Chains A and B, each alone.
Chain A
Amino acid sequence: LAKTTQPISMDSYEGQEVNITCSHNNIATNDYITWYQQFPSQGPRFIIQGYKTKVTNEVASLFIPADRKSSTLSLPRVSLSDTAVYYCLVGGVSGGSYIPTFGRGTSLIVHP
C-alpha cells in the first residue's frame, strides 16, 4: 500500500501562491493521486486528481513528475478562507481490494 508523507504545517499570506508537496515513494502503476481539503468538523472536499504530468482546474494545479514518487498541489493567490488541512490520497490495491490511504495532512494557515 502506498504511504504518503506531507509537511505537517505551512504558513502563507493572502495573495501568495502555496505549493504543498506529498511524497509517495511506493506508488503503484494503477494508483491515482487525489488531493482533498478539510475544514474543522467537516468531511474532506475534493480539490484535484491526477495520474501524471500536470492537471489544472479552477481552484488548483497538480504537478506530478515522471517517476510519480511525489506530487505538488499548487494553490494560486490564497485567501484567508483557504486556511484548512490538505490531504494527499493515493489509492492502493491489496488482495484485489482498493484500499485508499490518507496521510496526516498539511495544516495550511493563511495570514492577512
Chain B
Amino acid sequence: DAGVTQSPTHLIKTRGQHVTLRCSPISGHKSVSWYQQVLGQGPQFIFQYYEKEERGRGNFPDRFSARQFPNYSSELNVNALLLGDSALYLCASSWVTSGRDTQYFGPGTRLTVL
C-alpha cells in the first residue's frame, strides 16, 4: 500500500502570493491533518479534517485554510504569503480523530517564500 503522498515536493513563492499544497492519505484513512514545521522546531498543528469536516484548528491566522474532498484527499491553502511561512508542511493521515489513532506522515512539501 502506498503511504501518504504530498505534492509538490518543493515550492518557491514570493511574498504576497498564494499557494496550494496537496495531500493524498493512505487508502482507507478518513482523517487528514496538516502541520507546519519550521527549521529546528517540532511540527505545529494547523488543521485536522475528518469526513470532509474540520475537526481541529491550531493557532494559525485566517490566511491558512484547508478542505477535504470526497476521496479524502486534502488541500492546504495559504494566502498573502509572508517570509515566516517558509517551512516544511507535513500532511498526516489516520483512521479517525483521537489521541489513540496513529498518524502516518507524508514526506512534506518544502515551501520557500522569498
Contacts and interface: CB of A to CB of B under 8 A. Distances in A.
A18 B76 CA distance: 37
Contact of B55 (A31, A49, A97): A97
A46 B104 contact: yes
Given A43-B105, A43-B108, A98-B48, A31 B99 contact: yes
Contact of B108 (A30, A42, A51): A42
For B45, B104, B110, the residue with the greatest tally of chain A CB atoms inside 10 Å of its CB is B45
A81 interface: no
A7 interface: no
Nearest to B4: A43
A43 B107 contact: yes
Nearest to A87: B42
Contacts of B33: 100
Contacts of A98: 48, 55-56, 97-99
Nearest to A85: B42
Contact of B45 (A45, A51, A99): A99
A105 B38 CA distance: 13
A57 B95 CA distance: 21
A19 B60 CA distance: 34
B98 A91 contact: yes
A49 B105 contact: no
Interface in B36-80: 40-45, 48, 55-58
Interface of A: 30-32, 34, 36, 41-46, 49, 51, 87, 90-94, 97-105
19 contacts: A34-B99, A34-B102, A36-B105, A41-B110, A43-B108, A44-B90, A46-B102, A49-B100, A49-B102, A90-B99, A91-B98, A91-B100, A97-B48, A97-B97, A98-B48, A98-B98, A98-B99, A99-B48, A102-B42
